[in-house]
Amino acid sequence: MSYETEAQQVEAIKRWWKENGKMVVAGVVLALAGVIGGRLWLDRVETRAQAASMEYQQLLGELSAGNREAVIQRGSYLVDNYASTPYASLAALALAKVRAEAGEYPAARSRLEWVLERAEPFQYRTVARLRLARIHLAEGNAQLALNTLAEVTDRAFEAVLEELRGDVYVAMGNRAAARTAYRKALEASAPGSDTRVLQMKLDDLGDADAS
């Protein structure tokens, strides 16, 4: 399956965690319990995971409401106090989003780099790389954006990867490469998905013979 938008990427991750999160936490708890032992430690881990989950649910509400300051405050709290949970990575992605939307690119980059260094599962890192490449492009560093995209290996994100690669090539003035990337993005798009904007980007480049 391919994800065409960031919203789809994040929703897919949220669905995965909703379906598998308890199993993952339980697996980690059981594995470590065999080494460390002790019911007190198990209770502490479970309590922290539940607390992080509740904090993240509130963060999602604040994000949907467009409450930027609340998102920054709660997201920072999650990252600082629950770094060992997947919710910290999701919070860091949310922080990067609101920072990037405000043009605060250094702050956004810092949060994304945190995800790249720490996040599990690896899909979080893929989302971070895609967004980091977009920030590099917005800052006018197309080559760095291209280099960042080259590190994306998860083919589930192929449609958004190729579309973004096309945007980078357009910025670099390489129309032929951009045309190829946009066509790959269209081919990788899920059946029934809205590809009108992507098609417009391709159409704006014109025919290869006319270039």
Residues 128-142: what's their mean pLDDT?
A: 96
Of residues 186 and 48, the one with the higher pLDDT is 186
The answer, yes or no, to whether residue 28 has pLDDT greater than 70, is no
Q: Which residue, 201, 194, 132, is CA-closest to 169? A: 201
pLDDT of 207 strictly over 80: no
Q: What is the pTM of this model?
A: 0.77
* Position 42 pLDDT exceeds 80: no
**What is the reported pLDDT for 159?**
95
- Residue 22, pLDDT > 80, answer no
Give me the mean pLDDT over the 69-98 stretch.
Answer: 94
pLDDT(25) > 60:
no
Q: What percent of the chain has pLDDT over 90?
A: 67
- Read off the pLDDT band of 48 (50, 70, 90): confident
pLDDT of residue 23: 52
The residue with greater pLDDT, 45 or 102, is: 102
Choice among 33-47, 95-109, 117-131 with the minimum mean pLDDT: 33-47
The pLDDT score that the predictor gives to residue 50 is: 87
Check residues 102 and 39 and name the one with the higher pLDDT: 102
pLDDT at 123: 87
